[in-house]
Structure 1
């Protein structure tokens, strides 16, 4: 059994040529014996960007704190606490923090996807 505060999981800065202000934590993953899913908490700093990308797995997101917007395909939608988002496999998607506080969201991916 695992029962922790998510902030106790190590944070890792996520970087690419166009990604900025993004950290991730694997809060439940393979190290915990979770073979079917990985639960990650992602934090996007104010002004931070997760650039448009795609991959062959779906993922589900729950917005915990902050505000922003997400692009899936050509459509943008607002993000705020309590919103849930489904990103289908192979759908181009990206995210931006449009607020003054960190955008924090839970992200679930299948066990075969990279944990971070």
Structure 2
């Protein structure tokens, strides 16, 4: 059994996502903190942010925390806002675009392991 983990939000470090202009990622809980199965990350999308079409080897469950932005999944476009939830299946081509004047943010849960971005 894993030990309980409680992290203060001030402990989370955010880093730019290399393949995306205007996106940053912070790992809230993951394998580095001792979580045995899943990682929860928080992403931010600055106004004007664009994340190119890409795939990942693992599924993504996402929950929109703030803002309004567009998500493309397998050729369909979805306008999302705070309170919306998404499932992006493993291997699905997807992308993000924030055309608003407000920042966007979402939580993303993934299985632990390789979550490399593969540009399309």
**TM-score for the superposition, normalised by structure 1:** 0.89
Structure-2 change in CA distance of 1:5 and 1:69 (3 Å)? farther
Equivalent positions of 1:35-74 (< 5 A) are 35-74=36-75
The answer to whether the 8 A contact 1:9-1:27 is kept is yes
SS state at 1:31 partner: helix
Structure-2 change in CA distance of 1:114 and 1:7 (3 Å)? farther
Unaligned runs of 5+ in 1: none
Q: How many residues align?
A: 114
**Pairing 1:76–2:84 present:** no
Name which one, 1 or 2, has greater alpha-carbon Rg: 2
Q: Distance in 2 between matches of 1:7 and 1:114?
A: 24
**Pairing 1:2–2:5 present:** yes
- Greater CA drift, 40-49 or 92-101: 92-101
- Greater CA drift, 2-11 or 56-65: 2-11
4+ runs deviating over 6 angstroms: none
Unaligned runs of 5+ in 2: none
State the Cα RMSD in Å: 1.7
Q: Distance in 1 between matches of 2:103 and 2:10?
A: 14
Structure-2 change in CA distance of 1:5 and 1:67 (3 Å)? farther
Q: Distance in 2 between matches of 1:35 and 1:88?
A: 21
Q: Distance in 2 between matches of 1:99 and 1:76?
A: 16
Structure-2 change in CA distance of 1:97 and 1:86 (3 Å)? same
**TM-score for the superposition, normalised by structure 2:** 0.87
- Greater CA drift, 36-45 or 49-58: 49-58
**2:17: which partner in 1?**
14
Report deviation, 1:114: 3.3
